[in-house]
Amino acid sequence: MAPDEGGPAPPAVQDADVAPLEGAEASPEERRAAGSPHAVSANAALLALTRAARSFTLYDPSNKVVRTLIGDYRDKLQKALASFGSLVLEVHPFELVLGREVVYLEKDRERSLSFRLFRDGVRRIGFEPGLTWEEMLHLLQILSIRYTGVRQQEDDLVTLLRKAAFEHVSIAAIEGFVPEEEFAEPPIGDLLRGATPRYEAPAHWDLPLPPFPEAVPLRHRAVGAELLERLRSEESEEAVAGGAVRAVAEVLHAPGPDLEAALGFALEVREFLLVERRVDLVAELGRVVRRALQARPEAVAAFLAAFLDAKTVEALVRALPADREELPAPFLELLDAAPGETVGRLVDLLAGEGQGPRAHLLRRLVARGFQHAPEALVARLREARGDTAALLLRLLADVNAPAALHAAVEASSAADPELQLEALRQLAGAAFTPETARALHHLVESRFESVRVAAFPVMASRGGARVFPALQAHAEKHAVTCSAAEAEAVGRALVQAQAPSALALFGSWLRPKSGGLLGRLMKMHAPPPLQRVALAGLRGAAGAEADALLALLAEHGEASVAREARATLHGRAGGRGGPGG
């Protein structure tokens, strides 16, 4: 330490006890202190204490270096107490003083034990003989907390030391304050010679009030019930939640706010409102932020993307009555400004709801959300499957009919029966164009029978004679493999598309090709599946030609087909009032 103006500096300590351990090199300031044997021993103990406390910021507590430093601290402090008795230290901002000797000096605030003690109000700390290892370890833990910076805003050193209730460690403390470092500090020599202390309380410091010469009796008056209620309402749950929202507004409208910190505060308030089940104020909080940032749409979009996470969206929806027709304005404003991810989360809720009580409400919300971004709905539709995909296609029809028709044409070739059936419903009401004709043809060729059976009548009614060749080709190609239900659907569709052509086609299937005696002896050459196609079509056809073909099936058809043909003829005869066939 450089000499002060008032006299030479104390001699530097040169002792093996103060040599730093490997991995814990002491600073030059730490090595320059004290002179008497008592001071040398105290200096060694304090350096070992500070090294051990700081080691927790560098190493894992189980590290070998940490264990070595803790052992060194224990040995040197016990040696100092055993050799010289009590160790009472005066605490200054950067020095610890034993009597009139400086035993610890460190001007680096990040490293200084004395600065931490002084800052928190400790002015004297004493160690008594009989100090136990448990007390030494507890003291080390307390100092380590302050070195690592943990809990800086909670308990200070004074509080922690007093809570520890040490038997062999004592402290004298005041309300701590941090001196302004830009003020020059008097040399340590002046202090040791009895000069005025370097740090005096500022003029405005809250010193004890002087005693008053005259005693004035206290007078109390009763507080009315109305005033008490107003006071209680200021701290009620409702008031706290509303006050939190107002606090966000005040922060955002303050001059030159730190936008990142303000929006972070808004997200914390959202979490508080969700925990307190004040979902009604969450949408209002979103409105407050949007209005405060209306001149910065990019900031609003980024905030809402974080604000409306899956948990918040679900909470907002669950808070709405399922049968409510008129939705709250703050919620609708939030939904209208929300990014596409928010509507996607509503879709997830809708898919999970199924046919539940909130399905209608969720469909309305999704439809409203996608009004502002139909392209997001189309993108989500391409990724969806099953009932969810069908639901999205229906919603798209409510939002944007042309886009829904295009999506239905695209979905006609999808390998998804639910989506294909919904596409068929969309195509059933569309104009018959080459594009829709191709889509319907994809559906009648679907790999799913339920889709094919549903597509035949739609294709026949929309295409008429134009689709008759396609229906005929399908029937003749798949007659052997198709089920009875599909065969009947094809037969009805042929008659629906073009009845005369259908009767002619059925006749070509059912009547023998050869003439003469051989032709009369031959049964019809059509296989049973084609016979069933013809039977289904003839049931929906009227006229003598249809009756003649039914009679041919009743006489020469496969057993089950013949039986049904006779029943059909019998029913027709009964309807006309004639004898049964």
Q: What is the pLDDT along the chain (581 residues), one digit of tens a residue?
A: 333 333 333 333 333 333 343 334 444 444 445 478 999 999 999 999 988 888 766 666 667 778 888 889 899 999 999 999 999 999 998 899 998 899 999 888 878 888 888 888 899 999 999 999 999 988 888 887 756 554 445 567 888 888 888 999 998 988 655 444 444 455 555 545 554 444 455 555 566 667 777 777 778 888 888 888 877 777 666 678 888 888 888 888 888 778 888 888 888 888 888 887 788 788 888 888 888 888 888 888 888 888 888 888 888 888 777 776 777 777 777 777 776 677 777 777 877 777 777 777 777 777 777 776 677 777 777 777 888 788 778 877 777 788 888 888 888 888 888 888 888 888 888 888 888 889 888 888 888 989 988 988 998 888 888 988 988 888 888 877 888 888 888 888 888 888 888 888 888 888 766 554 444 544 566 778 888 888 888 888 888 888 888 888 888 888 888 888 888 888 887 665 554 43
CB within 8 Å of 157: residues ≥ 6 apart? 116, 117, 120, 121, 122, 142, 143, 146
Between the CA atoms of 400, 403, 405 and 409, what dihedral angle is there, to the nearest 10 degrees? -160
State residue 175's pLDDT score. 65
Q: What angle do CA 89, 94, 97 make, to 5 degrees?
A: 25
How far is the C-alpha of 305 from the C-alpha of 162, rounded, in Å? 48
State residue 33's pLDDT score. 52
E-only strand ranges, 106-248: 122-127, 169-173
Number of residues in the chain: 581
Among 460, 449, 433, 439, residue whose Cα is nearest residue 537: 460
pTM over 0.75: no
CB within 8 Å of 230: residues ≥ 6 apart? none
The residue written with tokens 């020059």 in the block is 184
CB within 8 Å of 146: residues ≥ 6 apart? 116, 120, 152, 157
Tell how strand 122-127 and strand 169-173 pair up. antiparallel
E-only strand ranges, 131-272: 169-173
State residue 5's pLDDT score. 37
Among 284, 297, 290, 299, residue whose Cα is nearest residue 330: 284
Contact (Cβ atoms closer than 8 angstroms) between residue 450 and residue 420: no
Burial of 222 from C-beta contacts in 10 A (0-12 / 13-18 / 19+): exposed
Contact (Cβ atoms closer than 8 angstroms) between residue 86 and residue 135: no
Contact (Cβ atoms closer than 8 angstroms) between residue 125 and residue 113: no
Burial of 205 from C-beta contacts in 10 A (0-12 / 13-18 / 19+): exposed
The DSSP H or E segment spanning 90 is strand 87-91
How far is the C-alpha of 485 from the C-alpha of 171, rounded, in Å? 96
Please give the structure tokens belonging to residue 172. Answer: 């004298």
3-state secondary structure of 4: strand
Among 50, 6, 58, 55, residue whose Cα is nearest residue 29: 50
The residue written with tokens 């396609």 in the block is 470
Please give the structure tokens belonging to residue 388. Answer: 């969810």
Please give the structure tokens belonging to residue 363. Answer: 């469909």
Count the neighbouring beta carbons within 10 Å of the beta carbon of residue 203.
6
Contact (Cβ atoms closer than 8 angstroms) between residue 95 and residue 43: no
Q: What angle do CA 169, 172, 173 make, to 5 degrees?
A: 125
How far is the C-alpha of 427 from the C-alpha of 458, rounded, in Å? 9
Contact (Cβ atoms closer than 8 angstroms) between residue 569 and residue 581: yes
State residue 22's pLDDT score. 39
The H-assigned helical ranges of 276-400 are: 280-292, 297-307, 310-318, 329-337, 340-353, 359-371, 374-383, 386-399
